Structure 1
Amino acid sequence: MSFAELRRQREARVPRWSSKSNQLSEFAIETQNEASVDKVKTDSSESKTDASEVVGEQERCSGTATSSRDVSFVPTEIEHSQLSVVTHKEKGRGLYRSRVSQRAEAGELLLATEPEVSVLSTGCANERCHFCFRPSTHLRRCSRCKFSRYCGEDCQKRAWVQTRHCDECPALQAWQKASLEAGHYTICPSATVRALAQIVWQRHKKGAKSRYAQAIASLETHRNDMSQDQLTDCAQTAVQLAHFLTAEKLPRYGIEHATDLLSLVCAYRINAFTLANPELDPIGVSISVPMALCNHACVPNAVVVFPESGKRTMQLVAISPIEPGTEVFTSYVDLVETLPQRQSTLSQRYLFQCRCILCEKSIQPPKRWTDPRNAGWCERFDCSGWVTMPIWDQVQKGQDEAMTGPCNSCGHCSTLREASVIKERWNSACTLLATMQAKLLDPNTKSRLSELLDSIQWLSTLVPPSNSLLWSFMHLAHVIAIEEQKYAEATQLAFVLCAGMQARGGSWEPCSLYPTGHPVRAVLLATLGKLLLHESEPCKPLLARISRLPSDRRKQLMLSKQALIQALSESQTGFGHAARGGEVADGVREALQTLQHEEAILRSL
């Protein structure tokens, strides 16, 4: 049985070195100065857009070196679809289901497009084809740059022209030489720099008046809305990009001023998508102008997926019915995150505060409803309901008790005793989680699985498996357990993860971590079903107050069948009927065949 690639190497930051080129040094100074000037203009501007005025806006940011923003531009893919671009005075542009079309059903393909640029992350560069992104153990490496790899001659030839490896290859060689001379050898810059460079090369090759250039020019930078730290970060990336492109060649690409590259980097910062494999593992970055028109909601009605390996196509799929004239929403954040986490990400990365229905309900919860992401157990022994956990910032040092919100079942407000002690341990758990996530491929990570399980056991006495912190701990431990082939632990964690992601907080229905039909649900259910097919020695219970998995083999196979059937249904929605549920559904179908064989053997005994 094969599982999705569950661990990704985090890209190392590109080391900075001083360039021997005076032209590049001057460019760096000019870029930093432009970032500072932009901040001064922002702070002094009376017409600055308030964050609340751009709620849900994914017009997002972009810029171009040679032309100003063109808000009238409509991508060809949208012109030929049943979608339309509508401009809202507060939210900007967005994608809507055309008023003259029929209702889009869950699982319907709304839009399919090849992104303007897609680039593998450095951590995936050795194991996937750089053109089709298909994984392979037999890749052909470029003999010149020693970095790019391809699954065959056809992909290598197509990449040379279609994704501009003809420009990238000498740039990579020059980068490697310069970094070696500086004593900080790196074989390539970051995926961000490589993606931005490809945009510049593609735009230069196709021409300043091409549809490609118009698409890039149709996006907005929002530079005046960025903080000084954000602008400085963009300026540093622009300097690295200038180094990769080489300063002498910038005018040839139509880049006359530092602001040209700064605007392009600002565009990337807000418009970039995660390039994912069919199992939703991140493998790189993408820029798609049509998809960037989708605005955000924490309860999305559509998702962006790459359902099939070997294809560079990005697809927009409805996961719930969308009536004619209704806006299409995707989510820019992980839906497991709590309200403060989501708002922080959206504010810092996308420069707006969300006011979707989930955020509004989380601020003022309906009666008998608790947000699953911030839920805790009711203190009453005979009640299995949820309460809202305290706001930890409001718990003072030495505080003995803290009150929770009312239980969604019995209405009782619980008293959290030893609140300051729990707060301290809670914060330590958050730090541990962040450290483990950041060092997932570190050799020491494996030896710390027991530390994760200890935190999971403690957290489960306080909160249900839908709680954001506990769910994230379980997911990380689940990944590591599979990597270590500890399938009993992985199975138990997958079982609780599936329960947690589907649990609802009460009377308000659309409140589970992931809405029905979301591809994350399909992937986790498929993993659970496959794990249950494997017989493994039982392990001790990893969580408190959670039902144990059945030990009887027949009951395990029955549970496996239920998970796989649901996974098949949800994958056909989340990855689309047009793709038959993608590769996730294909894997589920194979597992169901194995299950039938197992059941036949048991019946013959």
Structure 2
Amino acid sequence: MVRHHVEIFLEPGKGRGLRASRSGKGLEPGTLIISERPYCYALLNGEEENHCHYCLAEERQDEKLLVCPGCTTARYCNKQCQKKAELDHKCECRGYRQLMLMPYHLRLIGRIIYRQHVRKVETGPLDPLNDLCSHMEDLAGSFGMDSQLGHLARIVDKDVIPNWAYFQRLFGKVTSNCFAISNSELKDIAVGVYPQAAMLNHSCRSNSIATFRGPNMEVRTFAHVGPGEEVFHAYVQKGVTTDRRRDDLMEKYFFFCQCSDCLDHERDLRMRTAKCPNCGGPVLPNPESRSIYEKCSRCEHDEFDEEFHEKIDTAVEYADNVVTKERRWCNGLEYELQFRQNCLLEIDKVLHEDNVNTIRILVGAFHAAAGLGEWRQAIDWGLRLERGLRQKRSIPSLTVDAHPR
């Protein structure tokens, strides 16, 4: 793992973070600041049968993955990947089949304790995870945590289980510091722990983005970062309303975000823009009651009945389901394009093109159309996206729709 052009700092009341080196001209957009292989990683549920468990490459039609004869569960591209994975997999092999049946965060914790059982040097003061925050004060007494760890302890080999206090801290560190690993199509396929990247603090108006080459992460800036300025990463989806971002951050990371985007109330109102039923113009919600809409800025229509508000709620729920719900029974860009097209036909009736839910659907539709070579459609949607993103101004990485960290 390598850090470039950034330094660690510690600020009272805020904690640790990364900032641009104070000497020099700062960081230009596109600057590589972190390149890191995960300390440990695990495929997500549903991805374990069609990806290499070492390099995460997807199975090709003309070349089937090799199956580990021991656990009959781990799969590899070839003998080279199988050999490279041997040091860690040899210990976990007996319990790997059961481990892969567990939720992704538990299979990741399981792989870590197997790894540390083999690599004794990584325990104690030399544990690479020592500096990660465990949030034990927030998780203390959590029945959910102890219940899940108890289930994991019944699955893994008894001789690798650490003492219970360490087990609990490891749970907090993994669930609060892991990153989703995506493929070239920005689909999440795995999750990993990256100690260097975990030093990045959150901002909804972030200035860095992570990309992946297999399990290897590269973090680059996408905006200018001045000398000594902090580099931020977005822990949650940026393309959702402030209350939802804050709820996600509080639930997963135990803090109430006060970044510039969360304090920009006008921006949040624009993200909820509806379409006037009279002229199709933009209608913003009332700042005091965001579920109630005011008069149209174009024709001044102001009669919005209960049916109007119900249609908005239905459209928002529909768009959110298309973006976030996993569709295991369909596969491929053709299906994704069809889902997005159908959704746009419905939500365009009630949501204005400035509405963030419309933009979220357009992002996926644009990628699917471009991936299929449907260039005319991709250009049309790209032009709509350009206008919407220009209105939002501070959502430059809306293309990354979901990255659990």
- Short-chain TM bin: 0.7 to 0.9
Give the superposition deviation at 1:448. 12
Q: Deviations over 1:458-503 (max 9, x none)?
A: 43233333422233445566788899x8x87x96477336623652
**Residue 120 of structure 1 contacts residue 191 of structure 1 at CA under 8 Å; is this kept in 2?**
yes
Structure 2 segments unaligned to the other structure (5+ residues): none
The answer to whether 1:468 aligns with 2:356 is yes
What is the CA–CA distance in structure 2 between the aligned matches of 1:468 and 1:134, rounded to whole Å?
Answer: 33
Helix, strand or coil: the match of 2:244? helix
**Residue 297 of structure 1 contacts residue 329 of structure 1 at CA under 8 Å; is this kept in 2?**
yes
Q: Which of structures 1 and 2 has the bigger CA Rg?
A: 1
Helix, strand or coil: the match of 1:165? helix
Give the superposition deviation at 1:113. 1.1
What is the CA–CA distance in structure 2 between the aligned matches of 1:119 and 1:151, rounded to whole Å?
Answer: 16
Give the superposition deviation at 1:148. 0.9
Instruction: Indicate the residue corresponding to 2:151 in structure 1.
Output: 240
**Residue 359 of structure 2 contacts residue 388 of structure 2 at CA under 8 Å; is this kept in 1?**
no
Are residues 448 and 416 of structure 1, via their aligned partners in 2, closer, same or farther at CA, if it must alter by over 3 Å?
farther
Are residues 298 and 447 of structure 1, via their aligned partners in 2, closer, same or farther at CA, if it must alter by over 3 Å?
closer
The answer to whether 1:83 aligns with 2:6 is yes
Give the superposition deviation at 1:393. 7.2
**Residue 305 of structure 1 contacts residue 314 of structure 1 at CA under 8 Å; is this kept in 2?**
yes
The letter of the residue matching 2:274 is: G
Give the superposition deviation at 1:435. 5.0
Instruction: Indicate the residue corresponding to 1:157 in structure 2.
Output: 83
What is the CA–CA distance in structure 2 between the aligned matches of 1:358 and 1:286, rounded to whole Å?
Answer: 28
- Output aligned runs, 1:95-494, within 5 Å: 95-137=18-60, 138=63, 139-161=65-87, 164-173=88-97, 175=98, 188-208=101-121, 213-226=126-139, 231-246=142-157, 248-250=158-160, 255-257=162-164, 259-306=165-212, 308-309=213-214, 312-361=215-264, 363=265, 365=266, 372-377=270-275, 381=279, 386-390=282-286, 402-404=292-294, 407=297, 415=302, 417-418=304-305, 420-433=306-319, 435-436=321-322, 437-442=324-329, 456-474=344-362, 492=377
The letter of the residue matching 2:393 is: S
Instruction: Indicate the residue corresponding to 1:514 in structure 2.
Output: 395
**Residue 372 of structure 1 contacts residue 512 of structure 1 at CA under 8 Å; is this kept in 2?**
no
**Residue 128 of structure 1 contacts residue 149 of structure 1 at CA under 8 Å; is this kept in 2?**
yes
Helix, strand or coil: the match of 1:87? strand
Helix, strand or coil: the match of 1:134? coil
Helix, strand or coil: the match of 1:470? helix
Are residues 83 and 157 of structure 1, via their aligned partners in 2, closer, same or farther at CA, if it must alter by over 3 Å?
same
- Output aligned runs, 1:34-73, within 5 Å: none
The letter of the residue matching 1:495 is: D
Are residues 339 and 147 of structure 1, via their aligned partners in 2, closer, same or farther at CA, if it must alter by over 3 Å?
same
The letter of the residue matching 1:223 is: M
CA-based RMSD:
3.7
Give the superposition deviation at 1:166. 0.6
Give the superposition deviation at 1:198. 2.0
Are residues 314 and 479 of structure 1, via their aligned partners in 2, closer, same or farther at CA, if it must alter by over 3 Å?
closer
Helix, strand or coil: the match of 2:225? coil
**Residue 319 of structure 2 contacts residue 358 of structure 2 at CA under 8 Å; is this kept in 1?**
no
Give the superposition deviation at 1:455. 5.1
What is the CA–CA distance in structure 2 between the aligned matches of 1:284 and 1:304, rounded to whole Å?
Answer: 14
Give TM-score, length-normalised by structure 2: 0.83
Report how many aligned residue pairs link the two structures.
Answer: 396
Instruction: Indicate the residue corresponding to 1:496 in structure 2.
Output: 381
What is the CA–CA distance in structure 2 between the aligned matches of 1:492 and 1:154, rounded to whole Å?
Answer: 42
Residue identity (%): 20
**Residue 503 of structure 1 contacts residue 513 of structure 1 at CA under 8 Å; is this kept in 2?**
no
The letter of the residue matching 1:256 is: N
Give the superposition deviation at 1:391. 7.6
